[in-house]
Amino acid sequence: MNVNFADILRDTAQRHGERPALVDGDRRLTWSELDQAVDRTAQGLAAAGLVPGYRVLLLVANSIEFVTSYLGVLRAGLVAVPLNTGLTKPELAAVTAHSGARLAIAGPGLADRFEGIRTVAPDELQGDAPLPPSKDPETLAVLLYTSGTSGDPRAAMLTHRALAANVRNLSELGEDRMGPEDTVLGVLPMFHAFGLNAVLGWAVATGAALVVEQRFDPEGTLDLVRRYGVTRLPLAPPALHALLTRSDLRDALKTVKVVLTGASTLDRALADRFEQAAGLHVHQGYGLTEASPGVTTTLGEAEPKPGSVGRPLPNVEVRIADEQGEDVEGDDPGEILIRGGNLFSGYWPDAVDGPDDEGWYRTGDVGFLDPDGDLFLVDRLRELIIVSGFNVFPSEVEDVLVAAPGVREAAVIGVPSEETGEAVKAFVVPLPDASVDLAAVREYAEGRLARFKCPVEIEVVDHLPHSVTGKVAKGRLRG
């Protein structure tokens, strides 16, 4: 077993040294060249006086520089803290203080967002200092912030063991697993767990070529797919929706074998429309930052079930529990609990709220397992709305509202109520060139939902705030 996750790169460079590793615009690196570049970065960090365990912030967009900086930090025995390049000065200041970082690596035009911390550009990290030996796979490798844009920062502690376990689990999938003959599109942000370890990490482990793109653009992305014969297309649901506007979609994706999404909930109707337009099934997965991130996937299933996020990855256990932690009977919904070597060690800095003594982690997600072991997601436990003692899952109300006359998108939150404790409030976005008749929407909902589930207030908005992975940012709605 590799003690340091970056050792996996060394193994891949030995097996596939002259094969392409990274494509970034007109720049190319083979696996041998990438391994050497990571060595130089790691030695530069050591020469800068950083010692194992120090935290290093990464504010770098998807690029060769992100990859060499990230893996160089790990190889030097340091802790990588990848950050959303959209964070503001105050947000970065909060994360800097919370992580206790000693250095920030900033991409072009981003260094001036940091204050009070030594900041360098990726190409400044060159040196030849000796590297410390790797001793323990339980050593902290990455801090990944799961909040920070709203509320107090919270960072999941991912060890080298957890990162390696995730890519090993993915690599043990059946025929749908990634291999050295694959070319993968790397447009999902690498500061996010999906892009960091289910795309970049998996490519590093298998020797698949990674075509790096900083931001999704329907025309530019399809050009890259054509030019490099991309075979694997991991995308967030909003990107799939944007691609449906292209009349040349089926031809542009003719080299693609696998389309995979999993960063946020995939609407079934969207998946069906994409399959009809592109001739490609959209595979789904379920994951979370705390699982590095893979938990389940439909990859490897001959006939994935509509609405399912698949079965547990190899070496991952999933069970459904009630509030007391007891297994739920049959296919009733309950909280999703997970166990496996890919799990985090708790939240920084005290390793709190991690897996329990038996290794189980309560995800805060609600779902159910069918008799075949396929997982279906219901909602977030923390987004549960309790009206007069009755549970309301926002997704159930949202599914009804998006089918109401004139509504394109909907989001539901709980608001305080003197009469019922909490009440349901909805935000709806009109269809293009349409207006929303609130009375008609309310009547539609009342005909399909129990009274306590119906919104007491419906607000029409031009758009809903989304995270980079397409999830509706409900914290901003509440604000």
For residue 148, the model assigns a pLDDT of 38
Burial zone of 158 (CB within 10 Å; 0-12 exposed, 13-18 middle, 19+ buried): buried
Kindly list the domain boundaries of the chain, sorted by start residue. 7-164, 384-478
Residue 434 neighbours by CB under 8 Å, 6+ apart: 406
Largest CA distance in the chain: 71
For residue 309, the model assigns a pLDDT of 94
d(CA 408, CA 326): 39
- pTM: predicted TM-score of the whole model, two decimal places: 0.86
Torsion of CA 290, 293, 296, 302, to 10 degrees: 180
Sheet with 183-186, strands from edge to edge, namely 27-30, 20-24, 209-212, 183-186, 232-234, 258-261, 282-287, 294-297, 311-312
d(CA 212, CA 219): 15
Whether 292 contacts 144, CB under 8 Å: no
Whether 333 contacts 365, CB under 8 Å: no
Architecture in CATH of 384-478: 2-Layer Sandwich (3.30)
Is residue 200 classed as helix, strand or coil in its secondary structure?
helix
Structure token digits, residue 68? 């060499």
Structure token digits, residue 267? 């609407």
Q: Which residue type does 468 have?
A: V
Whether 184 contacts 23, CB under 8 Å: no
For residue 150, the model assigns a pLDDT of 37
Whether 306 contacts 370, CB under 8 Å: no
For residue 262, the model assigns a pLDDT of 79
End-to-end CA distance of the chain: 46
Q: Which of 204, 198, 190 lies closest to 9, judged by CA? A: 204
Secondary-structure class of domain 7-164 per CATH: alpha beta
d(CA 332, CA 5): 39
Residue 305 neighbours by CB under 8 Å, 6+ apart: 370, 372, 374
Question: Would you give per-residue pLDDT tens digits along the chain (479 residues)?
Answer: 679 999 999 999 999 999 999 999 999 999 999 999 999 999 999 999 999 999 999 999 999 999 999 999 999 999 999 998 988 888 899 899 999 999 999 999 999 999 999 999 999 998 889 998 888 999 999 999 985 333 467 899 999 999 999 999 999 998 888 999 999 999 999 999 999 999 999 999 999 999 999 999 999 999 999 999 999 999 988 789 889 999 999 999 999 999 999 766 677 888 999 999 999 999 999 999 999 999 999 998 888 898 899 999 999 999 999 988 899 988 889 999 999 999 999 999 999 999 999 999 999 999 999 999 999 998 777 788 888 777 788 888 999 999 999 999 999 999 988 777 789 999 999 999 889 999 999 999 999 988 889 999 999 999 999 877 778 888 788 87
